[in-house]
Structure 1
Amino acid sequence: MDRRDQGEVTTENMTSLLALLPDDVLTDIFRRLPPRGVATSRCVCKSWLAIVDAHRLLRADLLPLSFDGFFTNFYNFYISEFFTPRSDVPSISGKQDYLPKAGSLSWGYIDGHYNGLVLVNSFDGNGDKNRYVLNLATRWLAPLPPCPPSPMEIKGTFKVEYLVYDPAESTDFEFEVVSITRFGRMCKPGDTHDHEIEQSEWTPSVCILDVFSSTTGQWEERSFAREGNSFMGTVSGMRQDWLSDQHNDVYCRGALYVHSQNNCVMRISLSSDKYHVIKPPPGIEVEDYPEIYLGKSSKGIYCASIKGRCRVQVWNLDESGCQMKWVLIHDRDLSKWLLKHKLEYPIPCYGAKIQGPWALQDINYYYDGYNSDHDMEAPTEEKIQWSLQASEDEKFTWSSDDEYGCYGGYMEILGFHPWKEIIFLSESITRGLAYHLSSSKVEVLGNIYPAGYANELGNEQILKSSFPYTPCWLTQTADERS
């Protein structure tokens, strides 16, 4: 046995011995470590991770341990809106007028977020596109060079990029961006598909992905071998299942989970260069265009869907066995409860707003300073107490001929609370709701309908995507971190 093997055994033995210590003793040891040592210890095992997080040992004043709201993208609006708790002095602004080449005609929208960093698509006044990785809390940014074109000879494809960053693993803003190929349903006039390619298996046994590393500042092709026998389908099948703009992802314990076409999830291990295809929850694959939201909350990886207009279904991913599977943990229909409060598809008009503890910053409306508060109608008061404890005999399953009538609105998913069992919903692009999964308590948060959105066509008023935002106050220099 060489010295390297002896060192590995010694480290393993030391870790095993430390695991025998009581939690309070381990907590005291962790408190004596420098920040990077605490971050490294957190990655050793689940029990140490739980101790570090439970006692907020990772500089709670710097790391993303608070939840500040959602960045939302609306169709026909070119700047992301920020839906956040009201504050006289908001700590974060979604108005990115400090970006390079920013001007009155420039704009940008957030295309992804993780642990305080966001992916920003920015267009300057000349129409030139720029991509950045940005820390909104500190305004630190890094340009992201364009991903090189794919050598794949498959027509009608495009790429979607996903940000990977965990300050517990790296406090130096070392991040990665993973680019994944998507398939469009329509092609240019005159284009024809290669039959052999269209019927080929997707995903392939070895998937080639472009990965950008902030350490090298370059994109590189990396090969990921598929684990297990599961695959999504065929290339042709991917085209039949058009993916919406809500292409969510989660980075957790060294793995990137990506909501893919056919509503499968790709679990990509960036450390082992392997990936696994996770099939959709039972029943999802037979739905007609179900809205799926992939997210992270208190118990790991979650998947949620709105069935019909307002039946909320939530699953938790069980990774304990050989086969990863979705476990249904919540299934409730909110229609009767919504009708009880007379919410029959109420779209606000002419800028009227619903009052609540949260608000939309209305960045698009006020961006160039042309509009003012005098253009807006006074907010309408919401007198309803949005709180309900569901009893065992009240299963939230109600027929259409119920005494309250038929609900004509619809629900959309904004996302999950990162650390609490709460799912956030948009009710007919009108109210933001917080739905507590453990108690079935629902709270109205406030207006989510953007100012000036009534000027758009009714069938083009669409909430395209949303991302939960957790600010990170870490800075990029060693002196500022000490």
Structure 2
Amino acid sequence: MSIFNGANLPQELLINIFSRLPVKSIGQLRCVSNPLNSLLSDEHFLKTHFTNHFQEPEKIILLSNSHIFHTITFNKNCIFINSINFKQTPSDQFVEICGSCNGLVLILNKDGTKVVINPITLDFKIIPNSPLALEPYGSFSMHGFGYDYVNDDYKIVMISRYDHDNEVEPDILDMFMDIYSLKNGSWKRIKSSPYDHAVPEHANGVFVNGALHWLASKKPDYSSVIGAFVLSDEEFVEVPAPSSLDKDKFVFNKLVVLKGCLCMVDNVEGNRVDIWMMKDYGVEESWTKFCVDGIDFYDFLKPLCFMRDDEVVLNVDGEKLMVYNLEEEESRDLEVDGLPDSFESAGTFVESLVSPADPNLFGIEA
């Protein structure tokens, strides 16, 4: 392939070189020539690029109840913030991050519109509303977003139920499940969830190991469980929780992902939380615990990511970001110019070239 002034270089060598560059550099190189654009858009290149960058620090994305979102990048001792004006329709007002996977983020608009976006390339796809969705008035919904490695497809899962305190459909107790396939561009309804999701209302599914995870209550005794919805099988299985937790109460905790591991946040008392990390997925004995103490919060304290091995970034009540040093057991505000005074929702994502607008270029190796 002739790309540079007639010089012939093996394609594998070119892929090896270019796959080590950041996403923005790839975007610039695609404009150099048609052959280079073709190479840098090839599925094999996208997989190689993702693999080479998979271990890089996660970025934070913040929504501040407008059409502007903010991304925060950690680079050694430097912190960079980027504010992005993303107004595609007059009604754009982003209020919730529902999940992220392989560089794509699922964002919920104030009017209920769902958008899947790559925050680096700004490629996006507006998701049509499900024809089976319950009316917003008189119902509750929660979402999840992840990648089906078996069928090479990104999927949005929505669990909905009627609000039994009103008169819309007071006798229907089902937890309806609707799935949207980005590859097929369509919604479908499957059998209802076997669990009661009423307690952790509006909690988003946490994607780990090919499955979306929710804390739920198991019928008929309503004991707490971690329900893992496997995207390839579209079935729930159960993941063991830490054995020391009260099975009647841990449904009130929160699930997050840290360093690719499923974690559970347990508000023990006052301003202390225990964070359990499942280091070997599916193995009950692999749960380990670390504590965050001494931070005042009103509603919730949620770990977002590790800035360094001994420092975790925390979302405190959606009002500020803090850094907690696990070795020194001390906290400090995350100070960066341009950080909004408050935000509606916070999440993390990784840098990638995956585009939600091109279903033929989704494949990422597990």
Maintained 8 Å contact 2:59/2:74: no
Indicate whether 1:175 and 2:154 are aligned.
yes
Which amino acid in the other structure matches residue 258 of structure 1? W
Matches within 5 A, 1:73-84: 77-78=65-66, 82=70, 84=72
Aligned with residue 274 of structure 1, among 235, 240, 245: 235
Query: How many angstroms apart in 2 are the aligned matches of 1:222 and 1:93?
Result: 39
How many aligned positions are there? 308
Local SS of the residue matching 2:129: coil
Local SS of the residue matching 1:93: strand
- Unaligned runs of at least 5 residues, structure 2: 1-11, 20-46
| Match in the other structure for 1:53 | none
Indicate whether 1:424 and 2:308 are aligned.
no
Aligned with residue 303 of structure 1, among 254, 258, 264: 264
Maintained 8 Å contact 1:267/1:278: yes
Query: How many angstroms apart in 2 are the aligned matches of 1:191 and 1:91?
Result: 45
Matches within 5 A, 1:48-59: 58-59=48-49
Indicate whether 1:114 and 2:106 are aligned.
no
Which amino acid in the other structure matches residue 158 of structure 1? F
1:181–1:444 CA distance, 2 compared to 1 (3 A): same
Query: How many angstroms apart in 2 are the aligned matches of 1:78 and 1:283?
Result: 39
Indicate whether 1:473 and 2:362 are aligned.
no
Question: Structure 1 stretch 274-283 or stretch 466-475: which is displaced more?
Answer: 274-283
Maintained 8 Å contact 1:315/1:327: no
| Match in the other structure for 2:38 | none
Which amino acid in the other structure matches residue 175 of structure 1? Y
Aligned with residue 118 of structure 2, among 100, 119, 135: 135
Instruction: Give deviations 1:266-304, integer Å, cap 9, x for gaps.
Output: 212222343213465443555598441322425x32222
How far did 1:442 drift? 4.4
Query: How many angstroms apart in 1 are the aligned matches of 2:276 and 2:57?
Result: 22
Query: How many angstroms apart in 2 are the aligned matches of 1:288 and 1:259?
Result: 8
1:289–1:248 CA distance, 2 compared to 1 (3 A): same
How far did 1:430 drift? 5.9
Query: How many angstroms apart in 2 are the aligned matches of 1:278 and 1:451?
Result: 37
Indicate whether 1:187 and 2:165 are aligned.
yes
Query: How many angstroms apart in 2 are the aligned matches of 1:115 and 1:161?
Result: 17
Query: How many angstroms apart in 1 are the aligned matches of 2:156 and 2:262?
Result: 20
Query: How many angstroms apart in 2 are the aligned matches of 1:209 and 1:419?
Result: 38
Instruction: Give deviations 1:37-63, integer Å, cap 9, x for gaps.
Output: x9xxxxxxxxxxxxxxxxxx9325975
| Match in the other structure for 1:292 | 254
| Match in the other structure for 1:149 | 132
| Match in the other structure for 2:33 | none
| Match in the other structure for 1:17 | none
Local SS of the residue matching 1:163: strand
Higher helix fraction (1 or 2):
1
How far did 1:138 drift? 0.9
TM-score, reference length from structure 2? 0.63
Instruction: Give deviations 1:175-197, integer Å, cap 9, x for gaps.
Output: 2212223464x532x45733xx6
Maintained 8 Å contact 1:133/1:142: yes
How far did 1:82 drift? 3.2
Which amino acid in the other structure matches residue 353 of structure 2? W
Maintained 8 Å contact 1:62/1:472: no
Which amino acid in the other structure matches residue 317 of structure 1? M
Query: How many angstroms apart in 1 are the aligned matches of 2:237 and 2:60?
Result: 29
How far did 1:146 drift? 0.8
Query: How many angstroms apart in 2 are the aligned matches of 1:137 and 1:32?
Result: 25
Maintained 8 Å contact 1:92/1:137: no
Query: How many angstroms apart in 1 are the aligned matches of 2:150 and 2:324?
Result: 29
Which amino acid in the other structure matches residue 106 of structure 2? L
Query: How many angstroms apart in 2 are the aligned matches of 1:469 and 1:433?
Result: 18
How far did 1:137 drift? 1.0
Maintained 8 Å contact 1:315/1:330: yes
Which amino acid in the other structure matches residue 274 of structure 1? E
Query: How many angstroms apart in 2 are the aligned matches of 1:418 and 1:118?
Result: 20
Indicate whether 1:258 and 2:226 are aligned.
no
| Match in the other structure for 2:42 | none
| Match in the other structure for 2:22 | none
Maintained 8 Å contact 2:278/2:286: yes
Aligned with residue 329 of structure 1, among 262, 280, 288: 288
Maintained 8 Å contact 1:117/1:136: yes
How far did 1:69 drift? 3.4
1:421–1:221 CA distance, 2 compared to 1 (3 A): farther
How far did 1:317 drift? 3.3
Which amino acid in the other structure matches residue 334 of structure 2? G
| Match in the other structure for 2:7 | none
Maintained 8 Å contact 1:132/1:141: yes
| Match in the other structure for 1:66 | 56
Matches within 5 A, 1:361-380: none
Maintained 8 Å contact 1:63/1:167: no
Which amino acid in the other structure matches residue 283 of structure 1? L
How far did 1:314 drift? 2.0
Query: How many angstroms apart in 1 are the aligned matches of 2:112 and 2:320?
Result: 33
How far did 1:264 drift? 3.4
Maintained 8 Å contact 1:255/1:267: yes
Instruction: Give deviations 1:330-360, integer Å, cap 9, x for gaps.
Output: 243623xx6xxxxxx6xxxxxxxxxxxxxxx
Which amino acid in the other structure matches residue 257 of structure 1? H
Question: Structure 1 stretch 59-68 or stretch 465-474: which is displaced more?
Answer: 59-68
| Match in the other structure for 1:19 | none
Instruction: Give deviations 1:51-94, integer Å, cap 9, x for gaps.
Output: xxxxxx932597554335333457xx455753624899958534
Once the two structures are aligned, what percentage of the paired residues are identical?
Answer: 13
Maintained 8 Å contact 2:273/2:291: yes
How far did 1:431 drift? 5.0
TM-score, reference length from structure 1? 0.50
Which amino acid in the other structure matches residue 470 of structure 1? V
Higher strand fraction (1 or 2):
2
| Match in the other structure for 1:96 | 86
In our comparison, the structure showing a higher alpha carbon Rg is 1
